[in-house]
Amino acid sequence: MINFLQGKPQILKNKLLVICNGVGYGVYVGSRVLSQVENLPEVSLYIFTHVKEDKLDLYGFLSEQDLLMFELIVSVSGVGPKIAINIVDQGVNKIVDAVQNAKTTFFSAIPRIGKKLAQKIIIELRSKLGSIKELNLAPLSAKDRDIYDALLALGFEEHSIAISLDKLNNKNLSTEETIKEVIKLISHKK
């Protein structure tokens, strides 16, 4: 098992090549790590070795805390290492906050994570990281589904719609008024 690598970094297409004593190790890292090590003469990475029947992949992290969070996330059934590294790339503190406050939109904003997988991640990590807020597992109301569908048809992203709807108390607003308010919220972010 490879647990730690230290050497000269070289960026490949979707990996970081770490050259140690003449041997180059291809390591998957998040985009945040890539940008931080881009111009460094030497890099030190904590390594997670992922072994499957037909391949052996290395995943690298700048801190032991990131590695431990990755191991927690990859332990969630349905979350592979490629998705997990994209989650860890968001930052450990943000992940803990998202789990503790049941922020499904944080996870569903990451590619290849839908609402159900986001809920599953929160549920499974909650016992390990603690909880502050209860997770809303209820399906969308008919009114909210209409709002989602209308805004998606207008070209807005599902993640932006979800965040704006969470911020907005739309119980006293009509569907049309709610759509207008959500558009205003989304437009202010840009």
SS (H, E, C) the chain: CCCEEEEEEEECCCCEEEEECCEEEEEECCHHHHHHHCCCCCEEEEEEEEECCCCEEEEEECCHHHHHHHHHHHCCCCCCHHHHHHHHCCCHHHHHHHHHCCCHHHHHCCCCCCHHHHHHHHHHHHHHHCCCCCCCCCCCCHHHHHHHHHHHHCCCCHHHHHHHHHHCCCCCCCHHHHHHHHHHHHHHHC
Taking only the tens place, the pLDDT of each residue in 45-70 is 999 999 988 989 999 999 999 999 99
The pair of structure tokens assigned to 148 is 């989602």
Sign of CA pseudo-dihedral 24, 27, 31, 34: negative
For 42-77, give one letter per residue: b (16+ CB within 10 A) or e: ebebbbbebeeeeeeebbbbbeeebbebbebbbebe
The fold for domain 72-129 equals: DNA polymerase; domain 1 (1.10.150)
Domain ranges for the chain? 4-61, 72-129, 142-189
| Residue from 91, 129, 125, 87 nearest 108 by CA | 87
**C-beta separation of 30 from 14 below 8 A:** no
Taking only the tens place, the pLDDT of each residue in 2-50 is 999 999 999 988 799 999 999 999 999 999 999 899 889 999 999 999 9
Farthest CA pair distance, the chain: 67
| CATH architecture of the region 142-189 | Orthogonal Bundle (1.10)
- 129 vs 30, higher pLDDT: 30
**C-beta separation of 165 from 147 below 8 A:** yes
Owner of token pair 């000269």: 8
The pair of structure tokens assigned to 55 is 């391949």
Note whether 72-129 and 142-189 share their fold: no
The percent of residues above 90 in pLDDT, for the chain, comes to: 48
Report if pTM > 0.85.
Answer: no
The fold for domain 4-61 equals: OB fold (Dihydrolipoamide Acetyltransferase, E2P) (2.40.50)
